[in-house]
Structure 1
Amino acid sequence: MDDLKIICDSLSDIPQSFIDKYDLDIVPLTVILEGKEYRDGVDISNDEFYRILREGKVYPKTSQATYTQFKDIFEKYTNQGKKILYIAGSAVATGTYQSAVMAKNDIDGEIYVYDSNMLCFGIGMMVIKAAELSREGKTIDEIIAVLDKMKEDVFVLFSVDTLEYLQKGGRISSTKAAIGSILNIKPILEIKDGLVSQISQVRGKKNVVSKIIELLKANCGEDLSDQVVYVGYSDDFKEKEQLAKAAKEQLNPKEIVFFQIGACIGTHGGPGVTGIMCLRK
């Protein structure tokens, strides 16, 4: 559909190659770092963000995308006569979705605000599918029907290297973080019902990759030759390669595509986050 504009927000961590290929617009959330505000993916690069976190005890915060941001971008495309499909990060995890709904209600035009109930590239997988379907000429209703099913099938797993950012962000208690650090516990997390949830844990970083692969097999099957698997990383390039190698050898995916986890997701996970995403069978 040439008259459909697909928009998402920076929680989706979509690589530039996909943004260019499908002419996507990304609404940036704000990262607050040492009292200074940065638009995620615009004013600060991912590598620079993780370098700052590594070099000092810095605990960033995030701020949702605003009503004004959405009003501006929605009006830009409705004024061109386009329909809009905005695929949002999980509404239970961020107020960004609500900002978009408020803006939509104040604008004349055909605007669809869709809650992905996902975070990180779990959103991105849905955005790419929507863009593919749009190019095939599918209607908005047909695209949303596919997204509704996909929402149940996207499986996101990731591990954090340190518990302190989850603790600072209020995701886990200080007691749990302290015990986990002493015991060198590495939690394996998933996105469940729109929020981050612990699915398992291991002792020591060397056991992370094998546990992630084990959980993938249990949830998605042992043969992924019919689908693309997405491997996400922050600044741990070694673990990224280890995870990709293990996935290729044990799951036989059609393709492995890498993406870097951006500053907004990185705010809550910290440096050293590694993850993988595919579809449940």
Structure 2
Amino acid sequence: MRIGIVVDSACDLPQDFIEQNGIVVLPITVRIGDAVLADHRDEEATLGFLHAHVAERGHEAETTPFTVNQIRDLFLGKLVIDYDHVFCMTITRTRSPIYDNAMQASFAILNDYKPVRQAAGYNSPFALRVLDTQTLFAAQGVTAVEAVRLRNSGENVARIRERLEQVAANTQGYMIPRDLYYLRARARTKGDRSVGLLSAALGSALDIKPVLYGAGGKTEPVAKIKGFDNAVQQMFKFAEGRVRAGLMTPTMCLSYGGELAEMRALPGYQALRDTCASHNVDVYESVMSLTGMVNVGKGAVVVGFAADPMPFKAA
């Protein structure tokens, strides 16, 4: 059976991994004034747009995910021919309409695919599963990597579906934003009052950085740590501890809102890489999606993995 894997462009994975494994990306379009870019997970294009627009005016950006009709047209025009079963994994539905759009599109796709496949010479049925990863950014990548691993190992569709649902339910993402003023400005643009002026001002004045946690469809702060570098190091140390305790999948995903060389120079980065290597955990690192950067700001760092829940503790 030909199994396809679809993600949205908020899913942070290396561009070469996406290309080598034939992962299809549902792009999210970003508009800042007159500048428009459809985010197809092209790291060079993302960095170019970042340097030209995001740093100054990113909080004003409008992001537009694929509509119901665009998803339907993509499937009926290509995917129902190229594959027999597709797993479509989206950013948490609590932060984006992509999951709901894909679900609505799936009904039309499953109603209309037969003549399209028959015209291409396929008389077998087509199936589609839309999965809410319940998290975002680098953490989304964990489920996608597991889907690729299971597909490549020859697992059947039922087993893959069961496993992906289990992984999604246990995937956790942690993020350190660099600029709380940016985060507040972006939140206000979107009508989200969760980052108040006072907390942003105090955080910046005292150089306090929150550790933001995303899992189970929720995003919330779980710690406050003085200093960006120190906060990132504590987050990396926590991730190391989770690796040593045993992950649900041999996968650690990292993303950064800028050049990866900057992330690799942060304290604790190499220690995390070394710990992953010694425990046979594969590390996937990528430039954060343009969608992610306009929402959380330049220079944010994210780690994602699947494991049993455990409260965040700074070392």
- TM-score bucket (shorter structure): 0.7 to 0.9
Q: Which amino acid aligns with 1:203?
A: K
1:188 aligned counterpart, secondary structure: strand
1:5 and 2:4 are equivalent in the alignment: yes
2:244 aligned counterpart, secondary structure: coil
Which residue does 1:23 correspond to in 2? 22
Could you list the runs of 5+ residues in structure 2 that have no partner in the other structure? Answer: 112-125, 309-315
Change (3 A) 1:81 1:270: closer
Bigger mean CA deviation after superposition, 204-213 or 123-132: 204-213
Q: Which amino acid aligns with 2:75?
A: F
Contact map agreement 1:244 1:256 (CA 8 A) in 2 = no
Contact map agreement 1:230 1:277 (CA 8 A) in 2 = yes
Q: Distance in 1 between matches of 2:67 and 2:211?
A: 32
Which residue does 2:262 correspond to in 1? 238
Which residue does 1:262 correspond to in 2? 289
Q: Which amino acid aligns with 2:300?
A: V
Matches within 5 A, 1:65-84: 65-75=66-76, 76-80=78-82, 82-84=84-86
Bigger mean CA deviation after superposition, 203-212 or 54-63: 54-63
1:161: how far off? 0.5
Q: Distance in 1 between matches of 2:164 and 2:58?
A: 37
Q: Distance in 2 between matches of 1:41 and 1:53?
A: 17
1:120: how far off? 0.9
1:67: how far off? 1.1
1:172 and 2:172 are equivalent in the alignment: no
Contact map agreement 1:117 1:193 (CA 8 A) in 2 = yes
1:206: how far off? 3.0
Q: Which amino acid aligns with 2:269?
A: A
Q: Distance in 1 between matches of 2:274 and 2:15?
A: 27
1:249: how far off? 4.9
Change (3 A) 1:83 1:250: closer
Q: Distance in 2 between matches of 1:151 and 1:206?
A: 29
The TM-score with structure 1 as length reference comes to 0.88
Match of 1:271 among 284, 298, 314: 298
Which residue does 2:141 correspond to in 1? 124
Contact map agreement 1:247 1:253 (CA 8 A) in 2 = no
Which residue does 1:113 correspond to in 2? 130
Could you list the runs of 5+ residues in structure 1 that have no partner in the other structure? Answer: none
Q: Distance in 2 between matches of 1:113 and 1:279?
A: 19
1:176 aligned counterpart, secondary structure: helix
1:134 aligned counterpart, secondary structure: helix
Change (3 A) 1:147 1:54: closer
Bigger mean CA deviation after superposition, 244-253 or 138-147: 244-253
1:54: how far off? 6.4
Which residue does 1:40 correspond to in 2? 39
Matches within 5 A, 1:83-232: 83-107=85-109, 108=111, 109-167=126-184, 168-169=186-187, 170=192, 171-217=194-240, 220=242, 222=244, 227-232=250-255
Q: Distance in 1 between matches of 2:131 and 2:90?
A: 6
Q: Distance in 2 between matches of 1:164 and 1:35?
A: 24
Residues 198-253 of structure 1: CA deviation (Å, up to 9, x unaligned): 121211123123321343356x2536699343322122633433342131356644
Change (3 A) 1:227 1:195: same
Q: Distance in 2 between matches of 1:34 and 1:5?
A: 36
Contact map agreement 2:14 2:286 (CA 8 A) in 1 = yes
Bigger mean CA deviation after superposition, 177-186 or 266-275: 177-186
Larger radius of gyration: 2
Q: Distance in 2 between matches of 1:241 and 1:275?
A: 15
Bigger mean CA deviation after superposition, 117-126 or 188-197: 188-197
Residues 131-171 of structure 1: CA deviation (Å, up to 9, x unaligned): 22122222222111111221233232221110123212224
Q: Distance in 1 between matches of 2:128 and 2:50?
A: 35
Contact map agreement 2:32 2:53 (CA 8 A) in 1 = no
Bigger mean CA deviation after superposition, 221-230 or 267-276: 221-230
Change (3 A) 1:21 1:180: same
Q: Which amino acid aligns with 1:41?
A: H
